[in-house]
Every structure is written in C-alpha cells, then in structure tokens.
Structure 1
Amino acid sequence: MKPLTFTSSLEVYDSLGELPEDIQDLMKEAFKARDTAYAPYSKFNVGAAILLENGETVIGSNQENASYPSGLCAERTAFYFAGAKHPGVKMQKVAISAKSHQRAMENPVPPCGACRQAMVEYEVKQNAPIVLYFMGETGKVAKAKSVQDLLPFIFDSSCL
C-alpha cells in the first residue's frame, strides 16, 4: 500500500472590497444573476458570472423545479450557456454568490459536487485553469486558482 495525498489551496479575503476592481464587478454580475434565481422550494438563490477570454460575461442562476432533480444550479446554467453560445472561447474567471432567505450567508459557499464536475470538464477541454471566486451574500470571499483545487482527483475523458 502506498498513500496518495492531494492538497488544495485557497485564498480567502475578508470582504469583496479587498478584491481587484474587475473581480468586484464580476461578483456584482453574479449578485444580479442571483436575484433572478427561481428557488421557491429551497429559498436558496445562487448566481454565477463567467468572464470569457473575449471580454464577454455570461451569467446563470439556479432554476428549481417541483421535481427536484429537474432543476439546475447557477454554475452549470452559466457554463452550459457559455459553451453553447461561445464555443471555443476560454472561460477565464467565474464569480459565484449564494443567498439564503432563511439565514445570513457570510461565509464562502462553494459549488456543489455536480457543478465542480461540470466545471472541470470545461477546464480540461480548454487546457487552461478557470479561476473561481465564491462567497455567500456578504462577508468573506474564497479564491481557487483552478477548478481542480476544489476537485483534485478528477474524473475526465482519460478515465473512459
């Protein structure tokens, strides 16, 4: 037996104001997207904004359904739209923000496992890291230099 060790590293900022202005602007786009979420069941709104290499920003918000598995998270909504609307254009950075209608969200809220898997597919496809910034409604912001920092033991086409 030989142990296999994975490590991840994140940067954590105390507030949005500590980030560069372009990232603050991207996060504000995620806030706007978050406000368009359709989340009548979970009361948990999430917004995502992706900065593409061509300078365009693509947004997504979570869209729920009474048949729970039929809904879609904000991150996948944004990533799939970017992939469909801008094929071949690299995704450089994504900002994600979550807001609960039941309690204050002041700590960073990371993407779920399904979203991490979907995002890493695009990162592998474009052969370039996608930088992630994620937060709650207010408070601290976490930065991952790559999706693989959140999903270090990836499942991709090389596994098939």
Structure 2
Amino acid sequence: MQDHRGIEKLDWDELSPMEMELLISAEEALTKAYAPYSGFQVGAATRLIDGQVFTSNNQENVSFPVGVCAERSLLAYVGANFPETPPEALAIAAKRKGENESAYVTPCGLCRQAILETENRFKKAIKILILMPERKVVRISGVRELLPLSFNDLTD
C-alpha cells in the first residue's frame, strides 16, 4: 500500500528475494549489537551496486554521545573502503533485548543526514527497507522522503 509519495507499507511476501535477504542480514547484525545501556539492538545491512552486502550494528558507550548508530557505522565503513561503489539499498532492523518481535524504528536525524550525504556523494537515491513488527516492511524510495528539510545548503 502506498502511504506517502515514495513510502510504501508492505507485507513480507511482497518483497523481492534481494530485499528479503538484506532485511535478514540486518536482523542477524542486530544480534551482535553492543547495547548494554538501552537494551535496544539495531542492525543495518547495505547492498552495494556491485552486489556486495555489508552489515553493522549500534555500538553504545557509557558516555552517551560517543555511541554510534548502526546506519552511520555501516555507511562510514563502506564509504571508507569502497569509495567508488554506491549503495543501492539499506535495510534496518531493531529489537529490544529479550523480545522476539521487531521494534518499530526509523533512522534518527543524524543517520538521516548521513544517508543524505551518501546519496549526494553518489548522486543516487538509496532505497531504505525498515523491518517493522509482525514482519511488515516500510520501503522508502530515498532518504529525502524522511528528511524533506535537510541541511543541504553546501551542496545545492
């Protein structure tokens, strides 16, 4: 079902096999998150345009602002190691520690800006897949759908 411009709410069986694989990779990544303070584990997976898949997760720190979100750590890694290869999709999954059901999550403001920077870098939108409770998925055509009033003055 189309919700808003480039945002769709889908059932799991409406996804392509590649989308399912990427979300499963994000789910696996969240199990390795270091989240002793919040108990909120987030995993992210990205597929680069050449087909390579990479994952990351959130890493907390007792000094709260030092922690890193799954999305930003992943985009920093692929940007540093594959600077000529754009990401085509980014999947995000989250759970509260001790719970089996996926948690409702969207990228935070810092992550939205980091995703936008990656889109600007490659002049290409990144499809975002977010796993929701009950195996529902939100598919977003690009981060501008989540960040319409972005900090972008230096590039436009």
TM-score if structure 2 supplies the norm length? 0.89
1:125 counterpart residue number: 121
SS at match of 2:34: coil
**Deviation per CA, 1:24-56, whole angstroms, max 9, x where unpaired?**
011111011111100010000000000001111
Residue 48 of structure 2 is aligned to residue 52 of structure 1: yes
Give the superposition deviation at 1:104.
Answer: 6.2
Does the 8 Å CA contact 2:57/2:70 hold for their aligned counterparts? yes
Question: Given residue 58 of structure 1, which amino acid in structure 2 is its aligned partner?
Answer: F
> Cα gap change, 1:65/1:102 in structure 2, threshold over 3 Å: closer, same or farther?
same
TM-score if structure 1 supplies the norm length? 0.87
Does the 8 Å CA contact 2:45/2:91 hold for their aligned counterparts? yes
Q: How does 1:1-160 map to 2 (within 5 A)?
A: 8-14=5-11, 16-101=12-97, 105-106=101-102, 108-136=104-132, 138-156=134-152, 158=154
SS at match of 1:115: helix
Please identify which structure carries the higher strand content: 2
Distance in 2 (alpha carbons) for counterparts of 1:153 and 1:147? 11
Distance in 1 (alpha carbons) for counterparts of 2:26 and 2:39? 17
SS at match of 2:36: coil
> Cα gap change, 1:60/1:157 in structure 2, threshold over 3 Å: closer, same or farther?
farther
Identity of aligned residues (%): 37
> Cα gap change, 1:33/1:137 in structure 2, threshold over 3 Å: closer, same or farther?
farther
Larger radius of gyration: 1
Any gaps of 5 or more consecutive residues in structure 1? 1-6
> Cα gap change, 1:8/1:154 in structure 2, threshold over 3 Å: closer, same or farther?
farther
> Cα gap change, 1:18/1:144 in structure 2, threshold over 3 Å: closer, same or farther?
same
Distance in 1 (alpha carbons) for counterparts of 2:29 and 2:117? 23
Give the superposition deviation at 1:105.
Answer: 4.7
Does the 8 Å CA contact 1:107/1:140 hold for their aligned counterparts? no
Distance in 2 (alpha carbons) for counterparts of 1:126 and 1:45? 29
Distance in 2 (alpha carbons) for counterparts of 1:101 and 1:33? 14
Q: CA RMSD in A?
A: 2.0
Does the 8 Å CA contact 2:95/2:102 hold for their aligned counterparts? no
Equivalent pairs, count: 153
Question: Given residue 41 of structure 2, which amino acid in structure 1 is its aligned partner?
Answer: N
SS at match of 1:158: coil
Give the superposition deviation at 1:155.
Answer: 1.1
